[in-house]
Amino acid sequence: MEEYSTRQQKVGRLIQKELGEYFRLNSLSVFGGRMISVTVVRVSKDLAIARCYLSVFPSDNVEAYVEEVNKIAKNIRYSLGQKIKKQVRIIPELSFHVDDSLDYAENIENLLNN
């Protein structure tokens, strides 16, 4: 398991909070009313890359929505930069991924019950 520094964790939480607010405000206009939440943000050691894991509700065709989010990642990064530019030196490049931890936990639970 990779260890994350305190600074990486703080920047990750800051990005998670601001992205969550972005998705909340733009869910109706950009994402067709889907509820998109940011579950985890992992920031690289140099704070230049942020891997953001998204959970989408309702959960049908999640990969398509994450792909749409990745298409507008530059716009999201610009909006993020406007919010956090005084707190970080570099606005990280954003890459969005599907968070499948709930599906994984459900699969494990099903296997244990059988």
pLDDT tens digits for 53-108? 998 887 778 888 889 899 999 999 999 999 999 999 999 999 999 987 766 667 77
6-113 domain in CATH 3.40.50.920?
no
Q: Could you state, in order of their start, the residue ranges of all structural domains in the chain?
A: 6-113
Half-sphere exposure of 42 (CA within 13 A, CB side): 11
Residue 6 has pLDDT above 80, yes or no: yes
The two three-digit tokens of residue 84, written as one number = 């956090």
Residue 1 has pLDDT above 60, yes or no: no
Cα 34 to chain center, whole Å?
A: 15
List of residues 6+ apart from 22 with CB closer than 8 A: 76, 79, 80
Question: For 20-58, how does the pLDDT look when each residue is reduced to its tens digit (9 = 90+)?
Answer: 999 999 888 877 778 888 999 999 999 999 999 998 887
pTM attached to this predicted model? 0.84
Which among 10, 103, 8, 16 has a CA at the least distance from the CA of 53?
16
Find the distance separating the first CA and the last CA of the chain, reported in whole Å.
30
